[in-house]
A = this chain, B = another copy of it.
Amino acid sequence: MLTNFIQKLNNFQEHSADEIAILEDAVSGVVDVDKGIDILNERQRPGDVQLLIDGWACRYSVTRQGKGQIMAYLLPGDLCDVHVTLLNRMMDHSIRTLSRAKVASIPRRKMEDIIDNHPRLARSLFWSTLVDESILRMWLLNLGARPANRRLAHLFCELLVRSRAAGLTANHSFYLPLTQAELGEAMGITIVHTNRVMQKLRSEGLITFRQKHLQINDWEAFKSFSEFESTYLHLERADPSLARDL
């Protein structure tokens, strides 16, 4: 159930069977959610922390002019909003599913208990919010300082590495259940332009995209094209097979 979540946290520090049991125990209900549904809505005070078990989701927000912006992608094993819940604050953005998904809840009480009584787990959770923030900064750098083709390429690098860090794939190909519209909404470009950039990346032989699976053909070349350096993902203790590729 929590495999992806645990695998992700293990990139920071190894967790014992006891610790895993504590996490497993904290999870209350798992629900199936259709594509395009808000898990959390802006101006809502979440009572539980949500954990994405399966499927993809995104943080997003919409300007008054009606232009949407995806501000993060959530993969299986990603937590929704630890701090907002713990501090009992209002959500300042929404989270919606990008595919059919399974979402688990961790009641605030249990989360508080973990933070207070299990310092190692608390540190791991703390680490995961640090990574979230770091990703956010990298996206900002991407949007502000890179042209659309490198921007998209950089995103693909990130998603591949995150997929591998969560144990979702083992090579240079990963499941990417997003439409070009959803990719564009994250990169701040239109669907038309997204399409043209994707075509260029494919025609240049950099990527292959078939049946929602994106393959990066020459990882080193692609990394260098994207200016991708994985340090910002803070995977210092990554699994050797992943570490070779960072």
Contact = CB atoms under 8 A, between A and B. Distances in A.
B136 A87 contact: no
A100 interface: no
B87 A127 contact: yes
B231 A134 contact: no
A195 to B, nearest CB: 18
Given A127-B87, A129-B83, A231-B90, A69 B136 contact: no
B92 A61 contact: no
Given A87-B126, A140-B69, A140-B71, A134 B188 contact: no
A84 interface: yes
Given A59-B137, A69-B140, A71-B141, 9 more contacts: A63-B146, A67-B146, A69-B144, A86-B126, A87-B126, A90-B236, A92-B232, A129-B129, A136-B136
Q: 5 shortest A-B CB distances, which residue pairs?
A: A144-B188, A92-B232, A67-B145, A69-B145, A143-B143
A132 interface: yes
A227 B188 CA distance: 18
A71 B141 CA distance: 7
Contacts of A136: 133, 136-137, 140
A130 B89 contact: yes
A241 interface: no
20 contacts: A59-B137, A64-B227, A65-B145, A67-B146, A68-B145, A87-B126, A87-B127, A89-B127, A90-B231, A90-B234, A92-B137, A92-B231, A92-B232, A92-B234, A93-B137, A132-B133, A136-B140, A140-B140, A143-B188, A144-B187
A97 B86 CA distance: 33
B188 A61 contact: no
Contacts of A71: 137, 140-141
Interface string A16-49: 0000000000000000000000000001000000
A147 B83 CA distance: 31
A203 B71 CA distance: 33
A177 to B, nearest CB: 21
Nearest to A137: B71
Interface string A103-131: 00000000000000000000100110110
Contacts of A146: 63, 65, 67
